[in-house]
Amino acid sequence: MAYTFGDLRHKTVAQLRQIAGEIEHEAVKGFTQMTKEPLLKGICEALGVEMHEHHDVVGIDKRAIKLEIKELKKKRDQALEARDRSGLKSIRRRIHTLKRKIHRATV
């Protein structure tokens, strides 16, 4: 069975030891004495699974939003130099809103 790091991370030590018992690899040698962290690291190494989860943005165009944030940052700098407080506040709120939009769409 193909495991992901997220699947393995949520398993108990007993379940991880059971998985390690089915694997013939140097990284899981002595698995009965290992605690969760070294056991998880050894299983990931033996199975060729990366030790972190990948996050993807779903449902929005991240690139377009990042370009818009970049443009707004230029406008923000201009508003700072011009001492336009009301414009500055609206630009900062828009940047914050766009960053939150990306964060909410991240899975």
Residue-wise pLDDT for 47-76, tens only, equals: 999 888 878 999 999 999 999 999 999 999
pLDDT in tens, the chain (107 residues): 788 898 999 999 999 999 999 999 999 999 999 999 999 999 999 999 988 887 899 999 999 999 999 999 999 999 999 999 999 999 999 999 999 999 999 98
- Considering the domain architecture, whether residues 68 and 43 belong to the same structural domain is answered as no
Residue 54 maps to a domain: no
Residue 22 maps to a domain: yes
- Regarding pTM above 0.85, the answer is no
For the chain, percent of residues with pLDDT exceeding 90: 85
Residue 52 maps to a domain: no
Residue 72 belongs to domain spanning: 62-105
| CB under 8 A, 24+ apart: contacts of 99-105 | 99/69, 101/60, 101/65, 102/57, 102/60, 102/62, 102/65, 102/66, 105/57, 105/58, 105/59, 105/60, 105/62
- Considering the domain architecture, whether residues 71 and 41 belong to the same structural domain is answered as no
Domain count, the chain: 2
- Considering the domain architecture, whether residues 12 and 39 belong to the same structural domain is answered as yes
d(CA 69, CA 67): 5
Residue 24 maps to a domain: yes
Residue 55 maps to a domain: no
